[in-house]
Structure 1
Amino acid sequence: MKTILRFIGSTLILGMLAWVLIVNVAISPSQATIRQLEEAPGQVVYQSRQVLKDQKGASWQAIAFKRTFPDRSDSIYLRLVGFPGTANIDHSQPLTLTNSMGKTLTAADVSHDMFVDPTQIKPDVAQYDLQPILMKLELGIPLRLILPTLDQSEITLNASTDLVEEWRSLIGQK
């Protein structure tokens, strides 16, 4: 009888420990996933890649990246890529970033820097300069990204607080 009670007690304790572990893993905040690529000697790219959904449910790849150069200078950009036919982005307009507190920032469209030949710029791909505004993005507050389009509609993407934190972490990458 004592053996059975010990077995049941041990099983209950192990079960409770397993449950606590599962709950903690399920609710723990996601860790930043920054990829590091060496493009050339002394030139490194650090990337954060996430998939965001727009207001119509279409998926967009959001790639925030920092490129460091041999002279120790760097640049930080956000590239947004939609599926072909998703949008016709207006590259003459900036990306608007608005947080839930109403603070609005803009990031210049630098898509022309992606290609030597501007005719290669895709209508559903845009690149924005994050460097001037990245430190102004407040941690703990989600963002709404508003992409301007040529047909005057806007594409809205929501960036979570974890994603904002991941983007800000690019600053410290060396």
Structure 2
Amino acid sequence: MKQKYWQYFWCCTLSIVLAFTFGGLGVKSAQALLRQHHDSPGILRYHSQVSIKDEFGYTWQVLLFKQNYNSVVPDLRLRLVGFPGVVEIAHPQPLEIETANGKLLLASDAYALNTPAPNVGEYELTNILPKLPTTDALKLYLPISAKKPLVLNIPNTIVTEWQWLVTEID
């Protein structure tokens, strides 16, 4: 009786461990998060923030936010922040955005003249985001001081959230 109990116990334990191990393989590692912050007392603003690994395994903070709320159409900015000392963004080169069907769009560098740090880039997306599909993934080609641009793969769930942030949240 005692031996059957232990066999049952180890069989269940092994099943649980395998379920957690292999069940998590299909989960995407990049999940965006809409966050709110106070611009001033009583005024909440929202932005999309996600951590995404580049092709070399370094993590980047990818932040989409609205700026200049006093305008009829607020500016949309995409801020990309890498780990300090690992990479330098080449200013004032544009960010290249490639859609799933191969369409290439250019976002101008908002930090063309004055950058807060070499590992930070910010790009104008006001005219770009409406041209992007809402359900497809994107590739961002980030201009860096090396010869070849750095690639960030943006999952379709993030792109959908960006569209939602722009169209649904004020």
TM-score range, shorter chain: 0.7 to 0.9
Report the counterpart of residue 171 of structure 1 in structure 2. Answer: 166
Matching residue of 1:137:
132
Superposed displacement of residue 41, structure 1: 5.2
Indicate if the aligned counterparts of 1:67 and 1:76 stay in contact, CA closer than 8 A.
yes
Q: Provide structure 2 residue ranges, at least 5 long, that are not aligned to the other structure.
A: 1-22
- Corresponding residue SS for 2:158: helix
Distance, in Å, in 1 between the alignment partners of 2:102 and 2:121 is 24
Partner letter of residue 80 of structure 1?
Answer: L
Shift of 1:91: 1.3
For 2:150, give the aligned amino acid: I
**1:153 CA displacement:** 2.4
In 1, Cα distance between the equivalents of 2:144 and 2:135? Answer: 29
Q: CA deviation at 1:151?
A: 2.7
- Distance verdict in 2 for CA 1:95–1:42, change over 3 Å: farther
The structure-2 alpha-carbon separation of the partners of 1:69 and 1:99, relative to structure 1 and needing over 3 Å to count, comes to closer
Task: Verify the 8 A CA contact 2:32 2:161 in the aligned structure 1.
Answer: yes
Q: Which protein is bigger by CA-based radius of gyration?
A: 1
- Corresponding residue for residue 151 of structure 1: 146
Counterpart Cα distance in 1 of 2:31 and 2:55:
26
Identity of aligned residues (%): 36
Q: Which aligned segments of 4 or more residues in structure 1 are displaced greater than 4 angstroms?
A: 41-44, 70-73
What is the alpha-carbon distance in structure 2 between the residues aligned to residue 144 and residue 138 of structure 1?
A: 13
Which shifted more, 120-129 or 154-163? 120-129
Segment drifting more, 54-63 vs 31-40: 31-40
* Pair 144,85 (structure 1): closer, same or farther in 2 beyond 3 Å: same
Count of residue pairs brought into register by the alignment: 143
Measured after TM superposition, the shift of residue 89 of structure 1 is 0.7
Residue of structure 1 in register with 2:39 after alignment:
39
Contact 1:89 1:147 in 2 (8 A): yes
Q: Which residue in 1 is equivalent to 2:98?
A: 98
Task: For 2:71 and 2:135, locate their aligned partners in 1 and report how far apart those are by CA, in whole Å.
Answer: 33
Cα shift readout 1:48-96 (whole Å, capped 9, x = no counterpart)? 1101111111100001111352465522111000001121111111100
Amino acid at match of 2:69: F
Paired with 1:41 and 1:108, the residues of 2 have a C-alpha distance of 32
What is the TM-score normalised by the length of structure 2? 0.74
CA RMSD of aligned residues (A): 2.6
Q: TM-score, normalised by structure 1?
A: 0.72
- Quote the Cα distance in structure 1 between the aligned partners of 2:68 and 2:87: 31
Aligned match of 1:10: none
